[in-house]
Amino acid sequence: MTKPSENSVIIIGAGHNGLVCAIYLSIAGYKVRVLEAQDVAGGGAVTSEFAPGFKISGLAHLFHGLDPEILKDIGMQSTNFELGPEIKTIALATNGNHLLIGKDSVNGAGLSEEDKQTYKEFKQEYFGFAKVLKPLLMNKPPRLKNMDKADKFTFAKLGWGLRFGLGVDAMREFLRVGGINIYDVLNEKIENSHLKGAISVDAVMGHHMGPRTPTTVLTYLTRLNGEAQGNLSTPKNGMGRVTELLVNCAEAKGVEIQCGATVKKILIDEGRAIGVELDSGEQYKAPLIVSNADAKSTFLKMIDVCELDAMFAQRINTTRTHGSVAKFHFALDGLPEFAGLEAADLGNRMLIAPDMRYVEHAFNHAKYKEFSTEPVIEIIFPSVHDDSLAPPGRHVMSVLATFAPYDLKNGWSEQARQEFTSVVLKSIEKYASGITSKIIASELITPIDIENKFKISGGHWHHGEMTIDQSFMMRPIHGAAQYNTPIEGLFLCGATAHPGGGITGIPGRNAAKRISSLARAG
Residues lying near another protein in the complex (CB under 8 A) are found at: 270-271, 300, 305-307, 309-314, 317, 486
Distances (CA, A) of 232 to 89, 101, 314: 10, 12, 38
Report the nearest approach of another protein to the CB of residue 269 (Å).
9
Report the nearest approach of another protein to the CB of residue 479 (Å).
8
| Closest CB to another protein among residues 168, 310 | 310
Category of 386 on φ-ψ map: left (φ > 0), alpha (ψ -120 to 50) or beta: beta
| Closest CB to another protein among residues 204, 268 | 268
CA distance 172 to 163: 9
Using alpha carbons, select from 345, 323, 327 the residue that is nearest to residue 399: 327
Report the nearest approach of another protein to the CB of residue 300 (Å).
6
| Closest CB to another protein among residues 119, 406 | 406
| Closest CB to another protein among residues 228, 518 | 518
Report the nearest approach of another protein to the CB of residue 289 (Å).
17
CA distance 345 to 97: 14
| Closest CB to another protein among residues 314, 388 | 314
| Closest CB to another protein among residues 150, 313 | 313
* Bridge partner residues of 256 (DSSP): 33
| Closest CB to another protein among residues 318, 415 | 318
CA distance 416 to 326: 12
Q: How many residues does the chain have?
A: 522
Residue 353 CB contacts under 8 Å (≥ 6 apart), including other chains: 91, 197, 198, 200, 201, 359, 376, 377
Report the nearest approach of another protein to the CB of residue 305 (Å).
4
Report the nearest approach of another protein to the CB of residue 267 (Å).
13
| Closest CB to another protein among residues 119, 299 | 299
Task: List the end-to-end C-alpha distance of the chain, in Å, as a whole number.
Answer: 27
Strand-pair category, 349-352 with 376-380: antiparallel
AA identity, residue 506: I
Report the nearest approach of another protein to the CB of residue 470 (Å).
19
Using alpha carbons, select from 29, 71, 139, 57 the residue that is nearest to residue 382: 57
Report the nearest approach of another protein to the CB of residue 354 (Å).
42
467 with 479: CB under 8 angstroms? Answer: no
Report the nearest approach of another protein to the CB of residue 311 (Å).
5
Tell me how far apart the 2 most distant CA atoms of the chain are, in Å: 69
| Closest CB to another protein among residues 188, 270 | 270
Ordered DSSP codes for 101-169: E-SS-EE-TT--HHHHHHHHHHHHHHHHHHHHHHHHHTSPPPPSSS--HHHHHHHHHHHHIIIIIT-HH
495 with 293: CB under 8 angstroms? Answer: no
| Closest CB to another protein among residues 180, 300 | 300
Q: Which helix (H) or strand (E) holds 502?
A: none
Report the nearest approach of another protein to the CB of residue 480 (Å).
12
The dihedral through the CA atoms of 386, 389, 394, 397 has a sign that is negative
CA distance 115 to 109: 12
Using alpha carbons, select from 106, 369, 82, 64 the residue that is nearest to residue 230: 64
AA identity, residue 142: P
| Closest CB to another protein among residues 99, 295 | 295
Strand-pair category, 288-291 with 8-12: parallel
Give me the phi and psi of 347, to 5 degrees please: -75, -5
| Closest CB to another protein among residues 304, 419 | 304
| Closest CB to another protein among residues 318, 413 | 318
CA distance 154 to 483: 16
Report the nearest approach of another protein to the CB of residue 488 (Å).
9
Q: Which stretches of 253-410 are DSSP H helices?
A: 295-296, 310-317, 356-367
Report the nearest approach of another protein to the CB of residue 457 (Å).
13
